[in-house]
Amino acid sequence: MIIMALNCGSSSVKYQLFDWDKKEVIAKGMVERVIIGDSFIMHEVPGREVYHLKQDCPNHQAAIDLLIRIVTDPDHGVLDNVSEISAVGHRVVHGGEKFTCSVLIDEHVLDAVKEVQHLAPLHNPPNIEGIEAARTLMPAIPHVAIFDTAFHQTMPEQAYIYALPYEWYEKYQVRRYGFHGTSHLYVSKRAAVLLGKKPAECNIITMHIGNGVSHCAIRNGISIDTTMGLTPLEGAVMGTRCGDIDPAIPAFMMQKENLSAKEIDSILNKKSGVIGITGRFTDRRDVIEHANAGDRRCRLSLDIEAYRLKKYIGAYMAVTGKLDAVVFTAGVGEMGALIREKAIEGLGHIGIVLDVERNRSAMTRKRETLITADDSPVKVFVIPTDEELVFTEDVVAILNGTYTDHMNFEYSFSRSDFVRK
């Protein structure tokens, strides 16, 4: 059984093919610069050199058509025919309140996703375009929607309702939703395994840190709070997003600089965060390099980001109860030893005792690592995330009729005998 995972962004299509019987990835890649011109595909097969091909893709259907052609190519592909694909799992960023778990896509589901696209205008439209294109090109197989927001639908009202006019929630669904749900799901269940406990017995703080950043407070195995809100703009300092700020600032700057709502939204989402502070970088490797070379604003950016991380650890410890573990994941979380160190140094008084050497040696995206001292009451792990595996397992379980939700469904990676290939 071959499962395709698709993640359609505004100008990209990321894909992965997973052989369920062999439990291994057989190909993955990305079509970039979709719509905007100079499109190309980067196709990876284990044991082979990465294959690059330039081809214009004016829309998502052209991009998906290209990747299908490449994965079935006699020289560069891994399949003889597209009919070998059993099903497709689609990442959908925003499911609103309608979806609490992954679902088989039909016209009713697609209409429901379209109804909430105003809540994620940068993300849901390309997700929808990808679904429609893939269903057109592969009409004979099932398609499944996997929602970023689903994992967080267990949050209590006091965590997701904003202190705003309540009718905004009733009329426009303005509330906290949260994102990166599949990543928080995966690493929290892996952390439970490392702790030797069942997920429902664990209190964990998961910290997904990449260009986008979100944290999740998990009590008894379920999400009770998360940093991103109605949109992915709220919360931690990110590569280009500001995170938490005084909500009066946008109106203040709109008046000072004569900015439109669209312009201020673009600044907060694309010109703030790390790039806003440093003035030139989003990649934390660049920030660290120039901070070490004496760049004051790069040092400041690192201090601000780490300080915000530290604050959220403390805040979420207050609501989870007795904490078992903190987990760092995603690109910066997995590779950014300095940022991890700055975020958790000095937390011995709340039970987190860093082992500096363990932390500095945890610079790989292939290994699950403990970075606290053996006697630290709260453990801190670095766990590489695997959102595509969540996609795949949800799809297979839906096809087999065994899927329920993440609280009751047993994933392969939540078992102690799981081995990541």
Give per-residue pLDDT as tens, 209-252.
Answer: 998 999 999 999 999 999 999 998 999 999 999 999 999 999 99
Residue 286, token pair as written in the block: 């660049």
- pTM summary value: 0.92
- Cβ atoms within 10 Å of 109's Cβ, excluding its own: 19
Are 25 and 421 in contact by the 8 Å Cβ rule? The answer is yes
**pLDDT of res. 321:** 93
Residue 400 — φ and ψ, nearest 5°?
Answer: -85, -10
Residues 6+ apart with CB under 8 A from 190: 327, 368, 383, 413, 414
Residue 120 — pLDDT band, cuts 50, 70, 90?
confident
What is the sign of the dihedral through the CA atoms of 127, 132, 135 and 136?
A: negative
From the list 148, 208, 142, 39, the residue with the least C-alpha distance to 398 is 142
Which CATH number describes the domain made up of 2-147? 3.30.420.40
For strands 213-219 and 203-209, give the pairing.
Answer: antiparallel
Query: Do residues 27 and 71 touch, judged by C-beta distance below 8 A?
Result: yes
Confidence of residue 74 (pLDDT cuts 50, 70, 90): very high
Instruction: Write the DSSP symbol of residue 246.
Output: -
With a CB cutoff of 8 Å and minimum separation 6, the contacts of 238 are 211, 212, 213, 273, 274
Confidence of residue 125 (pLDDT cuts 50, 70, 90): confident
Residue 364 has pLDDT above 90, yes or no: no
Strand 143-147 with 85-92, pairing: parallel
Handedness of CA 77, 396, 408, 223 (dihedral sign): positive
User: Which fold, 196-382?
Assistant: Nucleotidyltransferase; domain 5 (3.30.420)
| 281 burial type by CB count under 10 A (0-12 exposed, 13-18 middle, 19+ buried) | buried
> Does residue 121 surpass a pLDDT of 80?
no
Q: Which residues participate in catalysis according to the annotation?
A: 148
The C-alpha atoms of residue 212 and residue 379 are separated, in whole angstroms, by 24
Q: According to CATH, where is 3.30.420.40 located in the chain? A: 2-147, 196-382
Joined tokens for residue 223: 């999400």
pLDDT for the residue 366: 83
